[in-house]
Amino acid sequence: MLIGGFQKMTMLDYPGKVAATIFTYGCNFRCPFCHNATLVIDEAQLFSEDEILSYLNKRKGILDGVCITGGEPLLQHDIFDFIEKVRETGLLIKLDTNGSYPDKLKEAIDRGLVDYVAMDIKTSEENYSRIADTNVKIEDIKKSVRILLENKVDYEFRTTVVRELHTKEDFEKISVWIKGAKRYFLQCFKDSENLIGNNLSAYTPLELEGFSEVLKNNINEVNIRGI
């Protein structure tokens, strides 16, 4: 496991839980609004598995769970071995993913390795490769969506909304694409000063509310984060 970052405690990354957050190194996408550029394109400080596991074992009874994010965690060849080690601490596991590894996502769910999955919906289907700045296999993304819609694990879909990259039409199409989804979050873009791209800006809270109303036509629960 290549671990590029570690947050010892958060009440934001795992809904309703006190958690630690583990940031894996490397990603197959290059989304310009990514706020973890050092994990994607630069050298990052690496933490050892033993260091992480030792901390988690000492925090039993304080932490509820662990959020494994990135980068793209499912890119790691030994991700399941690592999750099993974390499982031994008795903590819940939340996995963040861009959905490009559907077979590994399904395996993680079928093996009971994850308790909650947060999958990014970057944009509408036809614009995926433009946003991710790579040739995305959209069928893989769609397969991951279908896997989560089977409702075998608790989950959310989410989109970081950027004025220069997203339109109302995108959200109309996303609403139809993931129709019936349990939970969807619009995330207000914020410049962390550690972005891959440049010259990006956020929509206003009122504009995000407008997108939210569009999405509610087909999605059970729609919320806005970061305003």
What pLDDT, on a 0 to 100 scale, did the predictor assign at position 125? 96
What pLDDT, on a 0 to 100 scale, did the predictor assign at position 191? 83
Tens of pLDDT, residues 111-124: 999 999 999 999 99
User: Of 99, 32, 108, 94, which is closest to residue 72 (Cα–Cα)?
Assistant: 99
- Radius of gyration for the chain, computed over Cα atoms and rounded to the nearest angstrom: 17
Task: Please list the residues that pair with 69 across neighbouring strands.
Answer: 23
d(CA 97, CA 105): 8
Cβ distance 118 to 73 under 8 Å?
Answer: no
Instruction: Please give the model's pTM, rounded to 2 decimal places.
Output: 0.95
Give Cα 25 to chain centroid, integer Å: 14
What pLDDT, on a 0 to 100 scale, did the predictor assign at position 129? 96
User: Of 113, 181, 171, 172, which is closest to residue 144 (Cα–Cα)?
Assistant: 181
What pLDDT, on a 0 to 100 scale, did the predictor assign at position 46? 84
Domain that holds residue 103: 3-225
CATH number at residue 74: 3.20.20.70
Structural domains in the chain (count): 1
* Residues in the chain with pLDDT values less than 50: none
| Side chain identity at residue 83, one-letter code | I
